[in-house]
Structure 1
Amino acid sequence: MEFIYFLGRFHVAVLHIPLGVIVALFVLELLSRREKYRHLASASAYLWVVGAVTAIVTAVMGYMHFAEGSFDSASGIQHRTFGTILAVAITVVAGLRVSNTAQRFASWFLPASIVMVVLATVTGHYGGNLTHGSTYLVEHGPQFLRSMAGLGPRRPPVESLEAADPFLDLVGPMLTQRCSRCHSDDTREADLNLTSHASIMRGGESGPVVSRARPQASELLSRITLPRDDEAFMPAEGNTPLTEAQVRIIEWWLTAGAPVDTVIGELDSQPDPATATLIRVELGLSGG
């Protein structure tokens, strides 16, 4: 299985090839309708075959990547479904395009290329949800778009350290920014979702990642404080690590009992002066 996983990860590298070919296909099919560019018809036939081959290879690698088990969310299943439909559809059209009966279907190929562009766009959209999250495009958009995506109102700006929610204003945004690519509703690697307080406390396939009884022994803290060249260091290679200040803030949050739905001013465990300064800077407060 390791070799299958190895090949599957090349899916993210090769998927751009059929996308580019499909766009080129549409352009050639459109241009070849004009007498001046009629000679491009033979090139478009060639591109249909290239598109089919690359789409099949990409789909197979996608199935290999899916076998790792981290993409069984709604977006993952939809990405796989539309990717499969695209690979089958473009293969069928490519077969017709190079067959002896291609002339009979000549009027079909431009509409077919438009369908391929639509399928590729939908497939890419769901693939993007896997890497960036389903709310990435609308996160900073108007509230009516955020509401359509299931996002609540933006949190009001924090005006003082004491008024900040230690999770919702600090730790939550940090983990979402640095860790949601692999640990979200759409990509739960190790069955771990770090985008909400409830899911963090639930933990993953290896058990809890936060220990309120022994905060310094929390798996969450352990992973983000390992040497960066350690294979177990998180965020994984290719992702931007948390800053030293952010790690320090998360450590304080854990020792404070991993609180949420409260404000720092009401906690029994107050940050020491150095940590308080880091928190102010993270919140963008003056006087940090």
Structure 2
Amino acid sequence: MDWVFFFGRFHVLVLHLPIGIILAVIALEVASRSRTLQHPESAGSFLWAAAAVTSIVTVALGYMHYFEGGFAGTSATVHMIAGTSVAVLATLAWQLRKWLTSLYSRAQYGISALLVILLVVAGHYGGNLTHGPDFLAEYAPGPIRALAGLEPRRPPVTELAAADPWLDLVRPMLRARCSSCHNSERRRGMLDLSTYETTLAGGDTGPAISPGNAEGSELYYRITLASDHEDYMPAEGKTPLTDIETEIIRWWIDAGAPAETILANVDTASVGPLLRNQLGL
């Protein structure tokens, strides 16, 4: 299966080809119909063929990537359905353009509009898998966040004692460094670090956190391995946690992994300056 996984990872590279080609051929064909731009008859057929072939290859690589595991939830399902539909529709457009020109002429605008919609849907949900479901709306104004079903953004911390150790310190670190691989839609190793409950629950290797025992916690073990170790996290190519962030996570776990409280209720004597630095106080 290693070869399948190897080729599957090229999905994120190849997927840009059909997107560009499909948008190019749609623009070319529409412009030609309005007589603002003329092009050789063979150009449209060639581009639709290229769109179909690259779409099929992209979908095949996408399924290979899916077999690697760690993809779950609505985003994965919708992304796969929309992506497969793009390949099918692009192939249909190519064959109609080639063999049934009159039918293609009547269906051209409908096919083009549907393809654009499917590309947007596939791209959006693919982005959710890559960056996490909150990526687009992370910095959105309150009304847009509410419309997207997201909780309001937390106000800036102005006083150390009033900060929530999970919401204001640990969760932002995990979101910045780990959420691209460990979120509700993409759970590598079946680990979701997007909420307090799922972080405690852990993944394939058991609980990620052992409250009160950082040295015995899988999460702390992984982030403190040598960077060239195969189990080191974040994985190769991702930005690692800083020394300050790692130390804060150690302190948090040893303190019992507190949440739904404020730092005034937690012993911060050993890490006060680090916490202030992390919070920008």
| TM-score category (smaller protein) | over 0.9
Question: Is contact 1:162–1:263 with CA below 8 Å preserved after alignment?
Answer: yes
Structure 2 gaps of 5+ residues are: none
Residues 100-124 of structure 1, C-alpha deviations (whole Å, 9 max, x = no match): x324432322432232122111111
Counterpart of 1:276, as a letter, is: G
CA contact (8 A) 1:25 1:113 kept: no
What is the rounded CA distance, in whole Å, between the counterparts of 1:29 and 1:158 in structure 2? 54
The match for 1:117 is 116
Residue equivalent to 2:26:
26
Identity of aligned residues (%): 46
CA distance in structure 1 between the partners assigned to 2:35 and 2:140 by the alignment: 45
**CA 1:13–1:271: 2 relative to 1, 3 Å:** farther
- Deviation of residue 150 (structure 1)? 2.1
Q: Tell me the residue number matched to 1:8.
A: 8
| AA partner of residue 157 (structure 1) | P
Query: How far 1:42 moved relative to its partner?
Result: 2.3
CA, structure 1 residues 129+222, in 2 after alignment: closer, same or farther (shift >3 Å)?
Answer: same
The corresponding residue for 1:270 is 268
Matched letter for residue 10 of structure 1:
F
Aligned partner of 2:279 among 260, 270, 283: 283
From the superposition, tell whether residues 271 and 254 of structure 1 become closer, same or farther in structure 2 (CA, over 3 Å).
farther
Structure 1 residues 27, 255: CA separation in 2 closer, same or farther (over 3 Å shift)?
same
Which residue in 1 is equivalent to 2:210?
211
Residue 244 of structure 2 corresponds to 245
Tell me, in whole angstroms, the C-alpha distance in 1 between the residues paired with 2:184 and 2:44: 40
TM-aligned CA deviation for residue 36 of structure 1: 5.7
1:217 is displaced (CA, Å) by 1.6
Q: Which runs of 5+ in 1 are unaligned?
A: none
User: Please, what TM-score do these two structures have when normalized by structure 1?
Assistant: 0.93
- Structure 1: distance between partners of 2:249 and 2:104: 62
Q: 2: CA distance between counterparts of 1:78 and 1:271? A: 48
Kept after mapping to 2: 8 A contact 1:71/1:77: no
Cα displacement (A) at 1:205: 1.2
Check whether the contact 1:203–1:209 (CA below 8 A) recurs between aligned residues.
yes
Aligned to 1:182: 181
Contact 1:29 1:113 in 2 (8 A): no
C-alpha deviation, 1:256, in angstroms: 0.5
Aligned to 1:107: 106
Please give the TM-score of this superposition, normalised by the length of structure 2: 0.96
C-alpha offsets along residues 183-209 of structure 1, whole Å, 9 cap, x if unaligned? Answer: 000111111001111111111011011
Contact preservation (8 Å) 1:76, 1:127: yes
- Residue type at the aligned position of 1:279: L
Contact persistence 2:213–2:253 (CA under 8 A): no
- RMSD (CA atoms): 1.4
